[in-house]
Structure 1
Amino acid sequence: MLEQLNQALEHVERHLDREIEIAELARIAMTSEYHFRRMFSALAGVPLSEYVRRRRMTVAGAEVLAGERTLLDIAVRYGYGSGEAFARAFKAVHGVGPGEARRGGATLRAYPRMSFRLIVEGSSTMRYRVVEKEKFQLVGLKARVPLVHEGMNPAIVAFLKGIPKETVARIEALSDQEPGGIVNVSAGLGEDRSSGVELDYWHGVVTGADAPADLEALPVAAGTWAVFEASGAFPEAVQFLWRDVYTQWFPSNPYRSRPGPELSQNRISADGTHVDAQLWIPVERIPA
């Protein structure tokens, strides 16, 4: 998988001066567009569109300094319909406009070309299983929160504190299938997985029952799920598990992510320092 991802990045480099189709990159990587976007964002730390923009402006910056083409010619070459649009994009990346950069003395920012490689660290293993589930409903309460990669998420903490214990008990009583009990769910998260991006955070259960009038429901289609387990310090063990699934498990297994909510179930110790975590990711097998 890493080899195919690097081939897709090579395609990006060869086509910075023209429109880059995500469908073509996914074809080169031999995966779906959805999974390619998710994988790239998880591995690179930025969405694909932002990486392309930074690389395009890095190469354009070198041409601006070289002075061999007019600024309008450079703008047109990199897909901008006007010098003004190019100047705005250039300044967003470099902090100065192309005219100022060409006059000399300006400091530009170079974003290096990216490549992926596998680094083996220690002898840790990932515990996982693959499960087929019929369609179900996620029933509970949800809030719009920012994504936080490290440490506690204040928005989630505040949301959970605001749910009465009686309501939590009523929600939990609706659980009638695996994963049993309360689950935390991330939904509505697209290509961009950088810190601060907003998503729908659910506190609910997996059930076949209808939702009471005062609760919300999210129908989930039947499909395949990869289930991962981890134990360790809270919340780091949970956050590292998310990271490892996308940076280690997917590149070395014949599966790709598919659209759907991602379920997390955390059993936290009484003192709040340790967690036994379970993560459910919707997947599909990559055709041979």
Structure 2
Amino acid sequence: MDWLERMNKALDYIEDSLDDKIDYTKIAQAAYCSEYHFSRMFSSITGISLSEYIRRRRLTLAAFEIQKSDVRVIDVAIKYGYQSADSFSRAFQKTHGIKPSDARNKSVQLKAFPRISFQISIKGDKEMEYRIENIDFELRIVGKSKVVKTSRAFKTIPTLWNGAKKDGFMQQLINMSWENPKCKLESLLGVCGKEAAITDEEFTYFMGVRYDGEAHSHMETIIIPPSTWVVFPNVPDAWKRLYSEWVPTSGYELANLPCIECYYGPKHKPRHELWVPVIPK
């Protein structure tokens, strides 16, 4: 089963479950992917979060039902996962611009968000540089975490590092790093999704370094098991192209572990890399 077929099977599950409770684990299982990566993959390719897509599809079907039948609004609300008529009405009005009861008028304008389907598109006019790294020991990373809104991650994360530079935390990490080099992850590390689980709206971003000594009391520690990684230079470009260009044709599956942004010291080339945990198919 290829990548395209798996992704569309995940969409089949969503569509079949719009009037029922949707299990995000089952969505990822349908795509043979981890929850961590499926959520990011979906939003990266489509430009919309998974939860927002589901919300829009449910409100589209809800509008069809209200307009075409005399079903009670509260029954439609419950059918599509809303606990009260008020919460449904707010969501409906935010999407369609009118109250649910007004949708019965045939002349009103509503918004229909069609089902997404993944198709082959021609890309790859620009090559992607990468290498495979095998780390055969546990990575012990110490630092501190911050909750980041997924939609603002590309703006928020640089701000976090700028703040760490100003308050001295970055220098503290630098002083701890590179003491006992064991691999190429000897630099400032941004771990995306500390618990290897990511929600649609936000995730935990961990700023730290690989460190085998005793961590300071104000720092947290995370452990990543021995793993295989695909490594890309240029973090922003790698994030944009990882899911839509490299993964579908690579022959690798994404492992259920966090990705790591690796920021090197002055004069290092490249200046930064994205490390993505993978499993050969």
- TM-score band w.r.t. shorter chain: 0.7 to 0.9
Contact kept? 2:190, 2:206, Cα under 8 Å: yes
Residue number in structure 1 paired with 2:248: 251
> What amino acid maps onto 2:114 in structure 1?
P
Matched with 1:222 is: 225
Cα distance between partner residues in 1 of 2:48 and 2:231: 24
- For residues 50-106 of structure 1, the C-alpha deviation after alignment (integer angstroms, 9 at most, x for no partner) is 211110101211222334433244334434454334323323433432013334665
Match of 1:40 in 2: 42
Q: Are 1:88 and 2:90 matched, yes or no?
A: yes
**Letter of the structure 2 residue corresponding to residue 245 of structure 1:** L
**1:182 Cα deviation (Å)?**
1.7
2:209 counterpart residue number: 205
Residue 154 of structure 2: SS of its match in structure 1?
coil
- Indicate the RMSD between aligned Cα atoms, in angstroms: 3.3
SS in 2 for 1:122: coil
Equivalent pair of 2:174/2:188 in contact (CA under 8 Å)? no
Deviation of residue 241 (structure 1)?
0.8
- Residue 177 of structure 2 aligns to a residue whose secondary structure is helix
CA contact (8 A) 1:2 1:251 kept: yes
Of residues 144, 153, 156, the one that matches 2:158 is: 153
Q: Quick check: 2:187–2:209 contact (8 Å CA) kept in 1?
A: yes
Segments of 4+ moved more than 6 angstroms: none
Q: Runs of 5+ in structure 1 lacking a partner?
A: 231-236
Which residue does the alignment assign to 2:238? 241
Given the superposition, is the C-alpha separation of residues 33 and 279 from structure 1 closer, same or farther in structure 2, using an over 3 Å criterion? closer
1:140, 1:171 within 8 Å by CA — same for their partners in 2?
no
Relative to structure 1, is the Cα distance of residues 42 and 137 closer, same or farther in structure 2, using a 3 angstrom cutoff?
same
Whether contact under 8 Å (1:268, 1:275) holds in the other structure is no
What is the TM-score normalised by the length of structure 1?
0.77
Amino acid at match of 1:57: L
**Match for 2:231: what amino acid?**
F
Is the contact made by 1:41 and 1:192 (CA closer than 8 Å) also made in structure 2? Answer: no
> Corresponding residue for 2:67?
65
- Is this contact kept in 2: 1:227–1:278, CA < 8 A? no
Q: CA deviation at 1:165?
A: 7.5
TM-superposition CA deviations, 1:4-24 (whole Å, max 9, x none): 111221332233222333344
TM-score where L is the length of structure 2: 0.78
In 2: Cα distance, 1:155 partner to 1:33 partner: 25
1:99 aligns with 2:101: yes
What CA deviation, in whole Å up to 9, does each residue of 1:89-134 have, x standing for no partner? 3234334320133346654333222122333141413312141331
CA contact (8 A) 1:263 1:279 kept: yes
**Structure 1 residue 48 displacement after superposition:** 2.4
